[in-house]
Structure 1
Amino acid sequence: MSLKTELSHHEGEITPLESPDRFLTAEEKFPHINRSKLLRKCDLHIIPMLAVLYLMSFLDRGNIGNARIEGIIEDLNLTGTQFNWSITVFFFTYCVFEVPSNMLLKHIRPSIYLPSIMVLWGIVMTLMGIVNNYAGLIACRVLLGVFEAGLFPGVTYYLTMWYCRSDMQYRQAMFFTAAGLAGAFSGLLAFGIGKMRGTAGLNGWQWIFILEGIATVVVAVFAYWALYDFPENAKFLTQDEREFLQYSLEYDGYDRDLAAKGASSNQPVGRDNSNDKEFVWQAFKDVQSWLGALAMILIVVPLYSLYFFTPIIVNSMGHSVAKSQLLSAPPALVGAIANVFQAYFSDKTGKRFPFLMANFSLGLVGYSLCIAYGVKRIWITYAGCCIVNLGMQPCFICFISWISVNVSGPYKRAIAMAIVIGLGNMGGAIASNVYRAPDAPAFKQGHTIAMSMVAAGMAIVIGMYLGYGFVNRRKTKNMLSGKYDHLTGAELARMGDRSPFFIYRT
């Protein structure tokens, strides 16, 4: 079969190019479609619902920090490190179940699968409000990890089935901004819900779990109706709009400018959409998966540690419980806003690495202020927490986007992203033990550990950047030498991001 073929969106079907002389972009093939308007249309129908789902997810996993200053330790008679362990165990099951969950998502419609797991964790969250001992709390946190595991990697993969690489980070940021908003809302909600203390004989922390759990179930039921599956069956799109998106995604990894320099200048390379187990092994053997997971651990530690412990750090500065709940909101809100702005400019420039370097630098500056001033000047320390959020919240989604646009092939990407996010979230288990009660009120050791993680993450990302540049140069050299001229379009498609026509984004 000639390389001058076009892989259709349907598995295994290959149809000739309309023009054998040159490869057409989606804009050229569908000149009557306004790409910007179509993306905005997709955004309005897809992103808001996903953002609400993740807001509820992050709210439910992190509200235990608010519960602590509402009296959960005293009511359940928690001693020593038991509170920290109640946070930690969530991540054990959360990480283990992410890869199996994304494998399931390839076989179950997103509009069914995602709301279903949400209903389950909402029920668990509600039941957490009536536990009366440490064992019950641990059991609920373990189950919460099982059911929440599928959401973030599932949505990250799901978005790659709608948006091309150049549009990805902004959409992922809009979705992930819900995490920052959850951090802000968590404090505000806890402040309001805490006033129900004593109602029906329940303490404030119990009402936090019960009301937020019920809200999660309500949102999940609505999501069954509000979520769409994929472009090919989305009712809000016209037939031409569906074909435009499918065509754009099919050849998203194909570099026409690079191909035009070589002997095989007119070879359009699509993507292989099959669920072949070969792609599972490709994901596990890809160094991107493991370096990405290691870097993700190092990014997640400072991000989660501040999310879980900001109310506690603020409370240790001498503020009242109510004021601590309120003051825990601004740092998260600052990070959420920065996340959206950075993602917009990152997609606009097509760059990730320079923004990541700025993120890590802000993290180092913020922690330096926290370490240097501690409780001597609490407002400088508080500003340090804001600066860390300013850097590390955008860093998280920027890195996720960087990996997702550099792994090609839907099934391989689904597994690779689950590996990166699943193992990376083990950083949450570390984060839950970074800030210990004996280190209050300065928490110098916690800040120092988190700062060292930021520095190590920065070093790994620099290494990945240099590696991508080296591989891109080698691909160009091999392609120009005619090394791959004998391969068919289908064979090149199965190579995914290893194809000479796929250029890694930096």
Structure 2
Amino acid sequence: MAQSTHPNNPKAPDQEEKVESVHFAHIPIAGQTIEPSRDAEALPLPSDHKSERKLRLKIDLHVVPTVAILWLFCFIDRANIGNARISGLDESLELQGYDYNIILSCFYISYILFEFPATLLCKQVGPGWFIPATTFLFGICTISTAFVQTRAQMCAMRFLLGLFEAGMLPGIAYYLSRWYKRAELAFRLSLYLVMTPLAGAFGGLLASAILKLNGFGNLRDWRMIFAIEGIVTTSLGLIAFATMTDRPETARWLSTEEKEKCRARISSERLLQSEVLDKVDKVKIWRGIANPATLTTAVAFFFSNVTVQGLGVFLPTIIATIYPNTSLVQQQLYSVPPYIVGSAVNLAVPALSWRFDKRQVFMIGATPTIIAGYIIFLASSSPPVLYAACFLIASSAFVMGPMSAAQVSANVVSDTSRNSAIATNVLIGNMGGLLSSWTFLSNQAPRYRSGNGLNLACATMQLLILFSALMWFKRDNRMRQERDMDSELSGWSPEQIEDLDWKHPAFRWKP
């Protein structure tokens, strides 16, 4: 992981080249010219594209690797129960009927309940402390899962795992929004969220390797998976306390000029905001929650997560029904290639989003292959065809993760509203994870018609919501163009205007 410093470390002395100080008197918003607040601080802007690219690469190398590796093991610790299931979990704990689905649901109950408060806590204490601490704690939960003896104990451990993982996805997304501009954010989010499909691939390979061991201490079979992977996670959490930098102002690896550039880059896109990191404010929290871009994207993310989270815990089971006569290790390995394809697409689409500064159209374009995959699952019984459908679904199912977080981040203004918007998106999205735990029921094997039909309906709804929202964004931007900003804001104080966020008449949606 890239070496950096903890937030408490002192700042480094000036080392880098000085840049020209530019006072921005106007902020462009979708072709408009807007006067900032008179109290807004003049900030230095990057003097040329070359120096900005150099700074962005430096941030990439110090910030992204740490959160990417942490998220990899976060998702492995969540999804490894699928690998454990086909390695003897059901028989060992004497699970019957809906017991496995109940265990999965326990994770999502706590995950959903603590999503929003965990994200606010992340802002309050700082991501540099919060993310390593919560990683260490859910690693401990994973290790403890290796020692459960009953269904009730497994339910308790999954509940605790959901509690400690609740702040990871929105916390990392919020953390990266402190460092990157709107157009850059989707690709950087993809650099860590690509670990979601890679976790499926790597988790299958790792589980296969672990199961070849004769034992790990007194542990055998599926218990070794939880113990070994949990030890890795806790170790990474401890290392992250030293390698994560909370924000540009505390980055020892940035010069004073580079810190100012970082602040200017983020401030240049925040309409009339005098502070980059503002204090938690109820009005701004609500602006993030009630934002139409947040709500429509979050509902689409809900439907997407039915598929994504379902793949994470059920793909090994689905593979086992497609190829029932193959060995356990072969079944684990069959789950790897679809995830590899998904990883490649999960990087390519956000890279294109960065290139064109568009998000909504790419989210829309990711849904047809998912729809096609589930149609094949319902229509065919040929093992090669069904396995090909796994590739179709996995190829674009994971795109919604980075793109949805980037979309809600791009369509709010203040840091507080960005924090609450990301939390709302993940909160509603993960309700789809709760539903996913009931999509593939044991008594419907091997065709799982209800589960495949539900996923088909969810992908279709995802497409309809995203397309309808895009049309609304374009229509509302045209209507905002005709509004009289001077008359609407006459008599308002700078503080009241700043609190308007996306309701400011000069604001334009950025789909």
Q: TM-score, normalised by structure 2?
A: 0.88
> For 2:206 and 2:291, how far apart are their aligned partners in 1?
43
| Residue type of the alignment partner of 1:339 | N
Note if contact 2:291-2:502 (Cα within 8 Å) is conserved in structure 1. no
> For 1:469 and 1:157, how far apart are their aligned partners in 2?
26
Which residue of structure 2 aligns with residue 260 of structure 1? Answer: none
Q: Find 1:291's aligned residue among 280, 292, 296.
A: 296
Note if contact 1:4-1:16 (Cα within 8 Å) is conserved in structure 2. no
Q: Find 1:229's aligned residue among 246, 252, 261.
A: 246
| Cα deviation, residue 199, structure 1 | 5.0
Work out whether 1:280 is the aligned partner of 2:303.
no
Alignment partner of 2:252: what SS? coil
| Residue type of the alignment partner of 1:439 | Q
Which residue of structure 1 aligns with residue 328 of structure 2? Answer: 321
| Cα deviation, residue 31, structure 1 | 4.2
| Cα deviation, residue 293, structure 1 | 2.7
Shift in alpha-carbon separation, 1:269–1:485, aligned structure 2, 3 A: farther
Which residue of structure 2 aligns with residue 94 of structure 1? Answer: 111
| Residue type of the alignment partner of 1:229 | D
> For 1:349 and 1:452, how far apart are their aligned partners in 2?
30
Shift in alpha-carbon separation, 1:416–1:16, aligned structure 2, 3 A: closer
Work out whether 1:176 is the aligned partner of 2:193.
yes
| Residue type of the alignment partner of 2:130 | Y
| Cα deviation, residue 17, structure 1 | 4.7
Q: Find 1:112's aligned residue among 129, 132, 148.
A: 129
Bigger Cα displacement from structure 2, 479-488 vs 126-135: 479-488
Which residue of structure 2 aligns with residue 26 of structure 1? Answer: 45
Please list, as runs of the form range in 1=range in 2, the aligned pairs for 1:63-462 lying within 5 A after superposition: 63-198=80-215, 200-254=217-271, 270=274, 273-317=278-322, 318=324, 319-373=326-380, 376-462=381-467
Instruction: Summarize deviations over 1:355-389 as a string: whole Å, max 9, x none.
Output: 1122011111111222221xx32111111111111
> For 2:344 and 2:274, how far apart are their aligned partners in 1?
36
Note if contact 2:215-2:224 (Cα within 8 Å) is conserved in structure 1. no
Alignment partner of 2:499: what SS? helix
Alignment partner of 2:299: what SS? helix
Which residue of structure 2 aligns with residue 259 of structure 1? Answer: none
Note if contact 1:346-1:355 (Cα within 8 Å) is conserved in structure 2. yes
> For 1:239 and 1:411, how far apart are their aligned partners in 2?
25
Bigger Cα displacement from structure 2, 41-50 vs 316-325: 316-325
| Cα deviation, residue 127, structure 1 | 0.6
Note if contact 1:65-1:309 (Cα within 8 Å) is conserved in structure 2. yes
| Cα deviation, residue 34, structure 1 | 1.2
Which residue of structure 2 aligns with residue 466 of structure 1? Answer: 471
Shift in alpha-carbon separation, 1:68–1:460, aligned structure 2, 3 A: same
Bigger Cα displacement from structure 2, 421-430 vs 487-496: 487-496
| Cα deviation, residue 444, structure 1 | 2.5
> For 1:250 and 1:467, how far apart are their aligned partners in 2?
27
Q: TM-score, normalised by structure 1?
A: 0.89
Note if contact 1:283-1:412 (Cα within 8 Å) is conserved in structure 2. yes
Bigger Cα displacement from structure 2, 270-279 vs 301-310: 270-279
Which residue of structure 1 aligns with residue 65 of structure 2? Answer: 48
> For 1:32 and 1:379, how far apart are their aligned partners in 2?
49
> For 1:214 and 1:200, how far apart are their aligned partners in 2?
13
> For 2:149 and 2:387, how far apart are their aligned partners in 1?
34
> For 2:184 and 2:454, how far apart are their aligned partners in 1?
35
> For 1:284 and 1:252, how far apart are their aligned partners in 2?
20
Instruction: Summarize deviations over 1:387-434 as a string: whole Å, max 9, x none.
Output: 111111113321221122112211111112112201210111111110
Note if contact 1:251-1:269 (Cα within 8 Å) is conserved in structure 2. no
Which residue of structure 2 aligns with residue 14 of structure 1? Answer: 39
> For 2:447 and 2:431, how far apart are their aligned partners in 1?
25
Bigger Cα displacement from structure 2, 212-221 vs 193-202: 193-202
| Cα deviation, residue 438, structure 1 | 1.7
Moved over 6 A (4+): none
List alignment gaps of at least 5 residues for structure 1: 7-11, 19-24, 255-267
Shift in alpha-carbon separation, 1:444–1:199, aligned structure 2, 3 A: same
| Cα deviation, residue 497, structure 1 | 2.2
Note if contact 1:162-1:230 (Cα within 8 Å) is conserved in structure 2. yes
Instruction: Summarize deviations over 1:163-215 as a string: whole Å, max 9, x none.
Output: 11011100000010111110101110111111225554433110000000111
Instruction: Summarize deviations over 1:136-156 as a string: whole Å, max 9, x none.
Output: 100000000000101111111
| Cα deviation, residue 50, structure 1 | 0.4
> For 1:109 and 1:270, how far apart are their aligned partners in 2?
20
Note if contact 2:143-2:227 (Cα within 8 Å) is conserved in structure 1. yes
> For 1:360 and 1:285, how far apart are their aligned partners in 2?
25
Alignment partner of 1:127: what SS? helix
Shift in alpha-carbon separation, 1:182–1:13, aligned structure 2, 3 A: farther
> For 2:240 and 2:463, how far apart are their aligned partners in 1?
37
| Cα deviation, residue 40, structure 1 | 0.9
Bigger Cα displacement from structure 2, 465-474 vs 138-147: 465-474
Shift in alpha-carbon separation, 1:216–1:170, aligned structure 2, 3 A: same
Shift in alpha-carbon separation, 1:15–1:298, aligned structure 2, 3 A: closer
> For 1:170 and 1:489, how far apart are their aligned partners in 2?
34
Note if contact 2:41-2:274 (Cα within 8 Å) is conserved in structure 1. no
> For 2:485 and 2:123, how far apart are their aligned partners in 1?
36
Alignment partner of 1:196: what SS? coil
Note if contact 1:5-1:14 (Cα within 8 Å) is conserved in structure 2. no
List alignment gaps of at least 5 residues for structure 2: 1-23, 28-36
Shift in alpha-carbon separation, 1:235–1:359, aligned structure 2, 3 A: same
| Residue type of the alignment partner of 1:139 | A
Alignment partner of 1:425: what SS? helix
Bigger Cα displacement from structure 2, 152-161 vs 494-503: 494-503
Alignment partner of 1:174: what SS? helix
| Cα deviation, residue 458, structure 1 | 1.0
| Cα deviation, residue 291, structure 1 | 2.9
| Cα deviation, residue 477, structure 1 | 1.4
| Cα deviation, residue 219, structure 1 | 0.4
Note if contact 2:208-2:333 (Cα within 8 Å) is conserved in structure 1. yes
